[in-house]
Amino acid sequence: MSAMSASISSFSEAQNKVKTLQEDPGNQVKLQLYALFKQAKDGPCNVPKPGMMDFVGKAKWEAWKAVGDVSHDAARDMYIKLVEDLVSKDTPVGSETVTAAGDQMSTHVITKVIDNVHLIKLNRPEKKNALVQEMYTDIVNALKVAGSDSTSLTVFTGTGDYYCSGNDLSNLANIAPQDIPEMAKQGEVLFRDFVDAFIDFPKPIVALVNGPAVGISVTTLGLFDLVYATDRATFWSPFTSLGQSPEGCSSYLFPKIMGYAQASQLLLFNQRLTAHAACRLGIVTEVFPDHIFQQEAWNRITDFASLPKQSLRLSKQLLRAPERDILHETNRREAALLAERWQSDECFNAIMKFFQSKL
């Protein structure tokens, strides 16, 4: 094998090794990995600088630009060396797997098998676990794996102080007018596939709401089998204030769970609920004091995971079967309406107003 072929082979191996890292290397290292990967594949940065509101894209562009005129081969070798250093320092934690891909640089969804439980954990605490595009895809993929493995049930939660602050609005804020229809079309498919993955999930799935929940992280709670929350959690779906509309099948499930008037308060009039109020309305199963939340919730989850697996799976299917077609149709209509809203002046102006209020 030639030296060039060996280098390319080692580069490919290094990309695979990144996917097995147990510890999050941190944003700066991830930016380095991204920049060296792009330099090795495409050469010096040759794309326009993203707009000021595209924070993630701007950080990635600046990291790539900083590599300068380093050659393809040198960037490849630097990438391999950096990965080898990370692997040598990596400390395995149980059977944890961090999702990470060279070009997408996605390390924001962590999965871990704990005994008989498959844990899916949002891991973007510096942004309150706000969802960017690749996270939707990563979550769908994580649900596919969790649904087909040998575990009894799945737990979904967040890292840090927030459960999830909803969709990262920077996804919508820096799109050229001519690109909005294509973005809306892609977003419609992305949201529909994301919610469908919860509708079709074959095992019991439990949400551990470890802090405030916003937007789609609230509306999808009706698709979980149990929802445990810390008393520090709040629940807020400010759709109309952002010129948007409900998703997650909440337009069907929330009126059914809590009654039409209460659902209207939450979905139309931007009401913010405390954890105890959400529990009284039926979208939260049980609330625990924050200092014992994890311990108490996991005690219950551990007990549930010891129940017969096939009985759990078949019983869930029996409960969900009468509504599955309704939920898929609801999801289709909600996603289509969202795509319309994203293309409206009303939505654009509301999002611009939101960002201006943050300045």
- In angstroms, the Cα distances linking 122 to 69, 151, 228 are 36, 20, 16
- In angstroms, the Cα distances linking 217 to 194, 211, 232, 255 are 12, 11, 16, 17
Question: What confidence score (pLDDT) does residue 276 get?
Answer: 98
Instruction: Give the distance, in angstroms, between the CA of residue 232 and the centroid of all CA atoms in the same chain.
Output: 21
Contact 297, 290 (CB under 8 A): no
Tokens of 49: 């600088």
Neighbours of 244 (CB within 10 A): 22
Question: What confidence score (pLDDT) does residue 359 get?
Answer: 53
Please name the residue ranges forming H helices in the chain. 3-18, 27-42, 55-66, 72-89, 133-148, 170-173, 180-199, 216-219, 250-258, 260-267, 275-281, 293-305, 309-320, 324-342, 345-358
Question: What confidence score (pLDDT) does residue 256 get?
Answer: 97
As a whole number of angstroms, the distance between CA 239 and CA 74 comes to: 48
- In angstroms, the Cα distances linking 70 to 33, 38, 129 are 14, 11, 34
Question: What confidence score (pLDDT) does residue 89 get?
Answer: 64
Question: What confidence score (pLDDT) does residue 98 get?
Answer: 39
Question: What confidence score (pLDDT) does residue 341 get?
Answer: 94
The total number of residues shown for the chain amounts to 359
pLDDT digit string, tens, across residues 126-169: 999 999 989 999 999 999 999 999 999 999 999 999 999 999 87
Spatial CB neighbours of 23, under 8 Å, sequence gap ≥ 6 = 89, 90, 91, 93, 98
Q: Report which of 252, 264, 215 is spatially closest to residue 331, judged by C-alpha positions.
A: 252
Question: What confidence score (pLDDT) does residue 100 get?
Answer: 35
- Beta-bridged to residue 228, according to DSSP, are 208, 286
- Give kind and range of the element (H or E) at residue 110: strand 109-114
Q: Calculate what percentage of the chain has a pLDDT beyond 70.
A: 88
Tokens of 282: 């039926």
Q: Which residue has the tokens 């529990």?
A: 279
The segment(s) of the chain belonging to CATH 1.20.80.10 are 3-89
Question: What confidence score (pLDDT) does residue 15 get?
Answer: 86
Neighbours of 194 (CB within 10 A): 22
Predicted TM-score (pTM) of this structure = 0.71
As a whole number of angstroms, the distance between CA 27 and CA 71 comes to: 24
As a whole number of angstroms, the distance between CA 306 and CA 112 comes to: 18
Instruction: Enumerate residue ranges in the chain where pLDDT < 70.
Output: 1-7, 22-24, 51-55, 89-106, 171-176, 358-359
Contact 249, 195 (CB under 8 A): yes
Fold held by 3-89: Acyl-CoA Binding Protein (1.20.80)
CATH number of the 108-358 domain: 3.90.226.10
The segment(s) of the chain belonging to CATH 3.90.226.10 are 108-358
- Give kind and range of the element (H or E) at residue 117: strand 117-122
Neighbours of 281 (CB within 10 A): 18
